[in-house]
């Protein structure tokens, strides 16, 4: 209590990428009263921003202003390793990094440096690179002080009972479609 604990309602949450998952997260955060900002290639219409209680910010401004930065981008040539020393240095001192997207987005050694220095106060990581995680991963070999400020989950942040059943059903429906000579649903080329 002496150092103080930030309440979520007193935080600014910045979303890097603002697709369906980030928007669903924003809807769930809105009742807590936190300020929300987002960055994506194309800003939303003002009415959509108002509905989601989020405002578009330039990436550098979002990083500097956010108490919590949540990653919601796919792995592409532009995003692989984007959370590097420079990205982390632009984050507000004492902020928290959340990655529920893909491990390849984060330069894990850079994150270790930011956590060890205290510039980043904590991290919540649902994914690492590579998966399955290897014992020599730098995030698993930090000092006890830095390790105590990281929460890991085994890339199951989006796995609910309903999602599991829908995914399982889709696998079997796609197998039947292919067996019938039809294209599978959600084919990735």
Question: In a 10 Å sphere around its CB, with 0-12 CB exposed, 13-18 middle and 19+ buried, how is residue 123 labelled?
Answer: buried
Q: What is the DSSP string of 4-29?
A: ----GGG-EEEEES-SHHHHHHHHHH
| pLDDT tens-place values along the chain, 189 residues long | 566 778 999 999 999 999 999 999 999 999 999 999 999 999 999 999 999 999 999 999 999 999 999 999 999 999 999 999 999 999 999 999 999 999 999 999 999 999 999 999 999 999 999 988 899 999 999 999 999 999 998 766 666 777 777 878 888 898 999 999 998 887 765
Catalytic one of 55, 119, 155, 177: 155
117 shares a domain with 180: no
Q: Is 161 noted as a catalytic residue in this protein?
A: no
Q: Is 183 noted as a catalytic residue in this protein?
A: no
Domain count, the chain: 2
Indicate whether 3 belongs to any domain: no
151 shares a domain with 76: yes
Which pair of tokens denotes residue 180? 């019938």
Q: Which long-range contacts (CB under 8 A, 24 or more apart) does 146-150 make?
A: 146/112, 146/115, 146/116, 149/115, 149/121, 149/122, 149/123, 150/115, 150/122, 150/123, 150/124, 150/125
Indicate whether 2 belongs to any domain: no
Q: Is 155 noted as a catalytic residue in this protein?
A: yes
Catalytic one of 109, 131, 173, 182: 131
80 shares a domain with 114: yes
Catalytic one of 49, 57, 72, 102: 102
């Amino acid at each position: 209590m002496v150092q103080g604990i930030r309440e979520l309602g007193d935080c600014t949450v910045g979303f890097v990428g603002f697709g369906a998952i980030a928007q669903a997260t924003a809807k769930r955060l809105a009742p807590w009263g936190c300020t929300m900002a987002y960055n994506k290639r194309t800003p939303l219409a003002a009415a959509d921003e108002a509905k989601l209680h989020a405002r578009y910010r330039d990436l550098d401004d979002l990083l500097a202003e956010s108490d919590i930065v949540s990653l919601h981008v796919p792995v592409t040539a532009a995003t692989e390793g984007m959370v590097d020393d420079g990205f982390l240095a632009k984050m507000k001192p004492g902020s928290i990094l959340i990655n529920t997207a893909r491990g390849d987005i984060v330069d894990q050694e850079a994150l270790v440096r930011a956590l060890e220095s205290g510039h980043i106060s904590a991290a919540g990581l649902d994914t690492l690179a590579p998966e399955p995680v290897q014992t020599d991963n730098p995030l698993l070999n930090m000092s006890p002080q830095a390790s105590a400020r990281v929460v890991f989950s085994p890339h199951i942040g989006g796995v609910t009972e309903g999602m599991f059943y829908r995914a399982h059903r889709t696998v079997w429906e796609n197998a039947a479609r292919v067996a019938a000579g039809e294209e599978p649903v959600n084919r990735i080329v």
